[in-house]
Structure 1
Amino acid sequence: MNTARKNGSLFTKIEQKIATVEFGHPASNSFPSELLERLTQEIHSLSQNDEVVVIILQSEGKNAFCAGASFDELLAISNSTQGIHFFSGFAQLINAIRVCSKLIIGRVHGKTVGGGVGLAAACDYVMATEKAAIKLSELSIGIGPFVIAPAVERKIGVAGLSELTMAATEWKSAYWAKEKGLYAKVFESDKELDAAVEVLSLNLASYNPEALVELKKILWKGTEHWETLLLERATISGNLVLSDFTKKALAKFKK
């Protein structure tokens, strides 16, 4: 599947019961609404695909893994309806990953900001390179990581979420993320990362699919309320993005 380049790109390859889903965008693999919606639809589709046992989620290029929300789209939001709709895109994507019947491996090759951290946190198992530093910069632009916070907290706890959120201008290293539980393993190079992702995905693909489905259910037990919680959080962000503080901060950041 491919999208128009201005709205990002999305490609899925299925081999040996493994679906590799790669998203991309010229602006550091950030997410406009259309790309969020397409990735959400793709996760739902793969969840129902009997030819797929495990999913690898990755982004294109050699630089950033994901810069989070599209700044151009954030700047274009002019009313609460548009704001809520945009942030609901992240809510729906995280919920699609949560209810997906397949285990999802995150391959994080570079720096990750905001919604990208939430995306990584939503994956069932994440491997990264030492270049994959993380940052939640939302407070610095007048909003907060409200939609993704449940996914991040689930992986690194309230203390980790608090530290990451309040140090809004500070990069945390990939090794910090591993220590906190966001990443399972960190590698020195993309080559080592790819080799490890291949071994894990092939192993998982060789296991009993029914056992993997049951494991997925256990891993996400207690998150059923996210269906409404994340949309409620999207309303908070959707309203805050309209503030003068946020508009000025976004414009300054873009320059």
Structure 2
Amino acid sequence: MDQPYVTLKTKNGIGTIEFFHPNKNAMPTLVLDLLVETIQKADLDQNIRVIVLQSGGDRTFCAGASFNELVAIEDAKTGEKFFSGFANVINAMRSCSKLIIGRVQGKAVGGGVGLAAATDYCLASKYASIKLSELSIGIGPFVIEPAVSRKMGKPTMAQMTINAEAFYSAEFAETHGLYAEVFETNESLDKGVLALVEKLSTYNPEALTEMKRVIWEGTEHWEDLLQERAKISGALVLSEFTKNTLKRFK
């Protein structure tokens, strides 16, 4: 696998969305936009009752923003547009009428933590440690913060953000509400995900839709909030500090 992709496969009422990028499943604009389109497509598909969100490969779940694309940003409008990609994905997940079950098989960094937090229920392997590294490169997890704080609490979000270079274990993520369950192997993770979604696919779809609405109650303002946060990140990525830091990672 050497080309980025986003796919949707449907079987027995289960829609599996998989994204991939050869650079540790980083998220350039192309992948972010495709992910939004695919989530919306799955939402409209009457054959799908529950959605699984996963990434390709056996290692990193998602490395967050594409450093190469961040380095190339030269103006605030372009920066805002890039970070709006993450905002659009979170809002697509939030407004989707179907439950989205996360499968996190490996490390999640920055935006990857945001994706996990925006699922309705998330299962992970013991290798799925997490990190909010944004502050260390001169920006911050502004766009994903509402989703992370909503799942893990603001004190935990602040702890991870301030200790920006530390990975926190999957067990930590489970204790603080990001993961519902942690499995020893990817094989057992897959069995756990399958057992859950097969069960959910037999439930009353109207009840599932109403439950989804209740789960996300009070987040209707996120359309505007996340866009405002994208502006903050889009401006900060132009700072000399951030530019110099990103070049070292490139």
Aligned to 1:54: 50
**Alignment match of 2:171 (pick from 151, 170, 175):** 175
Listed one character per residue, the Cα deviations across residues 21-71 of structure 1 (whole Å, up to 9, x for unaligned) are: 110001000111011001001111111111100000000111100000001
RMSD over aligned Cα atoms: 1.0
The equivalences for 1:208-223 within 5 A come to 208-223=204-219
**Alignment match of 1:106 (pick from 78, 94, 102):** 102
**Alignment match of 1:239 (pick from 209, 213, 235):** 235
User: SS in structure 2 opposite 1:218?
Assistant: helix
What amino acid sits opposite 1:125 in the alignment? Y
What amino acid sits opposite 2:176 in the alignment? K
User: SS in structure 2 opposite 1:147?
Assistant: coil
Whole-angstrom distance in 2 between the partners of 1:92 and 1:9: 18
- The alpha carbon displacement at 1:252 in A equals 1.3
Aligned to 1:201: 197
CA contact (8 A) 2:32 2:86 kept: yes
User: Any stretches of 5+ residues in structure 1 without a counterpart?
Assistant: none
Aligned to 1:75: 71
Whole-angstrom distance in 2 between the partners of 1:158 and 1:183: 16
**Alignment match of 1:229 (pick from 213, 222, 225):** 225
Whole-angstrom distance in 2 between the partners of 1:48 and 1:58: 19
User: SS in structure 1 opposite 2:153?
Assistant: helix
- The alpha carbon displacement at 1:12 in A equals 1.1
Aligned to 2:83: 87
User: SS in structure 1 opposite 2:47?
Assistant: coil
What amino acid sits opposite 2:139 in the alignment? I
Percent of aligned pairs with the same residue?
Answer: 55
The equivalences for 1:124-163 within 5 A come to 124-163=120-159
CA contact (8 A) 2:7 2:38 kept: no
Whole-angstrom distance in 2 between the partners of 1:17 and 1:101: 14
What amino acid sits opposite 1:193 in the alignment? L
- The alpha carbon displacement at 1:160 in A equals 0.7
Listed one character per residue, the Cα deviations across residues 191-214 of structure 1 (whole Å, up to 9, x for unaligned) are: 100000000000000000000000
Whole-angstrom distance in 1 between the partners of 2:116 and 2:218: 19
Aligned to 1:250: 246
User: Structure 2 length normalisation: TM-score?
Assistant: 0.99
User: SS in structure 2 opposite 1:227?
Assistant: helix
Whole-angstrom distance in 2 between the partners of 1:22 and 1:48: 17
What amino acid sits opposite 1:53 in the alignment? R
Whole-angstrom distance in 2 between the partners of 1:229 and 1:90: 12
**Alignment match of 1:117 (pick from 113, 123, 146):** 113
Whole-angstrom distance in 1 between the partners of 2:152 and 2:59: 24
